[in-house]
């Protein structure tokens, strides 16, 4: 049975209430990667837990223990597990999402306060940190549940929820929980399939179903020598400078064309055959889409297939920042005593952090030795995750395809995502069931960036899509 018209109408009629709830979520700065915000991440967990309870979901908060971040021991934010429905005649779907966000501050270049949701009526946009990644999609599920709860209508499937607060910082603690609860008698027992709404369409017009994610290996490389910051007039050309060493090292990692210079990394990936290239050629995507989303005419190639392969099926190496460097206004003439470069590699099969880390460490050590510097080098392999691919011919995808057709009157693009959701593979392996990624937002949403947004239509139609997917799931043959 398809989702009833009443459901679609309810979502439209309650759009303002849903946007208010999104505003309340965005207002909690649940930045997992910054220890000073840990209490906000926990506040966000409590808020989400209470919203779920009010909607009739039977929830519990699970303590994930402690971890060390930036030399500080911190409590991990809890995972929220929830259940709604327990009918043995219905399929059981596990939904996952995250309630933490990337850091954001007005000084990064936001036009408005990142933690105040701005409703831009003129352009139909909801702007704020987490609007598309991943508070909007998580609340999309709540919108669906609210319709059923308020109207006393059972969901067409049994629902198991798993929401975490550390996804943007390596999902620490979650893998163990997922493995434990996937065993016989565990909380996730009986799961037939999984759905994750935490990525984006390729463009701004075509809905997508996603069957692959890149993995991630994140590094912090530190160069230190002087006992404190130095005057460059007094010490310039008299000492080995950490910043000069670090910049030289970072310069050995990747070319401006994106080729990875760490020996063995690019070579690990087999080239595509003609059939695979045809898949990329068939996707609704253009150079204007990537340049529009990037906000500049800066694509590495004018060939759409090459650009798509760079995002979906090749590894990439990005340099993110330098800690300890002078970055303020004015012309401070300092030699920083200790600087840390941060970079990451997005991984594709057969790459994993375990087989990539030794290559990166060996390369950096050799490159540093060549500098002949007396400074000290420290390399930290921080968080990471393996890449993931699913069978997109599975009934889970069929249900999502039908739902997309109903809500958007369009067939979805079948995509592989360039980003990473580390726990996806853990769920797939631990439960042995199919995982579907069902994105809500558009390719130009600016996740992780300044002025992150979700279009109001994506939030509202996306909520209909999630609900409709549950109805199609109930119908589709296993």
Ligand X SMILES: C[C@H](N)C(=O)N[C@@H](Cc1c[nH]cn1)C(=O)O
Closer residue to ligand X, CB minimum distance, 134 or 444:
134
76 binds, among Zn ion, ligand X, none (CB under 5 to 8 A by kind): none
DSSP three-state, residue 432: coil
Beta strands in 155-200 (DSSP E): 158-164, 193-196
Interface residue with ligand X among 40, 168, 413, 445 (CB under 6 A) is 168
With CB under 5 A, what is the number of residues at the site for Zn ion? Answer: 3
216 binds, among ligand X, Zn ion, none (CB under 5 to 8 A by kind): ligand X
Q: Report cis status (omega within 30 of 0) of the bond before 350.
A: yes
| Ranges within 109-148 binding ligand X (CB under 6 A) | 133-134
- Minimal distance, residue 113 CB to ligand X, in Å: 21
Closer residue to ligand X, CB minimum distance, 178 or 447:
447
Q: Does 417 bind Zn ion (CB under 5 A)?
A: no
Residues labelled as active-site residues: 100, 167
Q: Does 440 bind ligand X (CB under 6 A)?
A: no
Q: Does 103 bind ligand X (CB under 6 A)?
A: no
| Ranges within 276-315 binding ligand X (CB under 6 A) | none
In this structure, the strands spanning 118-120 and 125-127 are antiparallel
Contact 163, 138 (CB under 8 A): yes
385 vs 218: CA distance, rounded Å: 9
Q: Does 419 bind ligand X (CB under 6 A)?
A: yes
User: Which token pair is 150?
Assistant: 């308020």
* DSSP letter for each residue of 268-323: GSPPP-HHHHHHHHTSS--HHHHHHHHTSS--S-S-HHHHHHHHHTS-EEEEEEEE
Q: Report cis status (omega within 30 of 0) of the bond before 243.
A: no
User: Which token pair is 28?
Assistant: 């909690």
Which residues are known binding-site members for substrate? Answer: 198, 231, 333, 346, 420, 448
172 binds, among Zn ion, ligand X, none (CB under 5 to 8 A by kind): none
Q: Does 92 bind ligand X (CB under 6 A)?
A: no
420 binds, among ligand X, Zn ion, none (CB under 5 to 8 A by kind): ligand X
* DSSP letter for each residue of 62-91: E---EEEETTEEEEPPPEEEEEE---TTS-
Interface residue with Zn ion among 51, 100, 133, 455 (CB under 5 A) is 133
Q: Does 216 bind ligand X (CB under 6 A)?
A: yes
199 binds, among Zn ion, ligand X, none (CB under 5 to 8 A by kind): ligand X
34 vs 82: CA distance, rounded Å: 27
Contact 436, 196 (CB under 8 A): yes
User: Which token pair is 26?
Assistant: 């965005």
- Minimal distance, residue 332 CB to ligand X, in Å: 30
Taking contact as CB under 5 A, which single stretch among the options 194-202, 317-325, 406-414, 458-466 is the one that binds Zn ion? 194-202
- Residues in the chain, total: 478
Closer residue to Zn ion, CB minimum distance, 198 or 289:
198
Neighbours of 362 (CB within 10 A): 14
Q: Does 198 bind ligand X (CB under 6 A)?
A: yes
User: Which token pair is 72?
Assistant: 């500080």
173 vs 61: CA distance, rounded Å: 13
Interface residue with ligand X among 95, 421, 431, 436 (CB under 6 A) is 421
Neighbours of 364 (CB within 10 A): 20
Closer residue to Zn ion, CB minimum distance, 10 or 110:
110
Burial class (CB in 10 A: 0-12, 13-18, 19+), 448: middle
Residue nearest to ligand X (CB): 419
- Pick the closest to residue 321 from 301, 340, 349 (CA basis): 340
- Minimal distance, residue 199 CB to ligand X, in Å: 5
Which residues are known binding-site members for Mn(2+)? Answer: 98, 133, 168, 198, 448
- Minimal distance, residue 425 CB to ligand X, in Å: 13
Interface positions with ligand X (CB under 6 A): 133-134, 167-168, 198-199, 216, 419-421, 447
Interface positions with Zn ion (CB under 5 A): 133-134, 198
């Amino acid at each position: 049975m398809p989702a009833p018209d009443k459901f679609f109408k309810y979502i439209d009629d309650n759009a303002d209430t849903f946007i208010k709830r999104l505003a309340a979520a965005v207002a909690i700065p649940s930045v997992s990667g910054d220890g000073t915000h840990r209490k906000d991440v926990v506040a966000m967990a409590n808020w989400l837990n209470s919203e779920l309870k009010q909607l009739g979901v039977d929830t519990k908060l699970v303590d994930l223990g402690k971890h060390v971040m930036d030399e500080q021991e911190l409590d991990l934010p809890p995972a929220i597990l929830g259940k709604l429905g327990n009918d043995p005649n219905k399929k059981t779907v596990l939904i996952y999402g995250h309630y933490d966000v990337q850091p954001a501050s007005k000084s990064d270049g936001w036009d408005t306060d990142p933690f105040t949701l701005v409703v831009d009526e003129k352009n139909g946009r909801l702007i704020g940190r987490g609007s598309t990644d991943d508070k909007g999609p998580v609340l999309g599920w709540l919108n669906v549940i609210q319709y059923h709860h308020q109207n006393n209508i059972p969901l067409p499937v049994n629902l198991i929820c798993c929401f975490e607060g550390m996804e943007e910082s390596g999902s620490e603690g979650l893998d163990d929980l997922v493995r434990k609860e996937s065993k016989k008698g565990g909380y996730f027992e009986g799961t037939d399939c999984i759905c994750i709404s935490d990525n984006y369409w390729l463009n701004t017009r075509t809905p997508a179903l996603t069957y692959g994610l890149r993995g991630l290996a994140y590094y912090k490389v530190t160069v230190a020598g002087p006992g404190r910051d130095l005057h460059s007039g007094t010490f310039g050309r008299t000492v080995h400078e950490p910043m000069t060493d670090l910049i030289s090292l970072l310069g050995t990692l990747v070319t401006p064309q994106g080729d990875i210079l760490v020996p063995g990394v690019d070579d690990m990936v087999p080239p595509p055959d003609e059939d695979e290239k045809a898949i990329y050629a068939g996707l609704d995507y253009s150079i204007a889409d990537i340049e529009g989303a990037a906000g500049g005419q800066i694509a590495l190639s004018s060939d759409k297939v090459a650009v798509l392969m760079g995002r979906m099926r090749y590894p990439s190496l990005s340099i993110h920042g330098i800690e300890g460097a002078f970055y303020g206004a004015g012309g401070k003439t300092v030699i920083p005593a200790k600087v840390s470069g941060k970079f990451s590699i997005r991984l594709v099969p057969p790459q994993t952090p375990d087989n990539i880390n030794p290559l990166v460490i060996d390369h950096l050590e050799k490159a540093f030795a060549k500098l002949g510097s007396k400074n000290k080098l420290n390399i930290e392999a921080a968080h990471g995750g393996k890449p993931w691919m699913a069978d997109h011919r599975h009934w889970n995808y069929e249900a999502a395809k039908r739902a997309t057709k109903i809500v958007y009157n369009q067939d979805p693009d079948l995509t592989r995502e360039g980003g990473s959701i580390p726990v996806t593979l853990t769920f797939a392996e631990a439960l042995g069931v199919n995982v579907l990624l069902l994105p809500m937002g558009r390719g130009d949403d600016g996740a992780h960036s300044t002025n992150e947004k979700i279009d109001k239509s994506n939030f509202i139609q996306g909520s209909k899509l999630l609900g409709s997917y549950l109805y199609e799931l109930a119908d589709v043959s296993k």
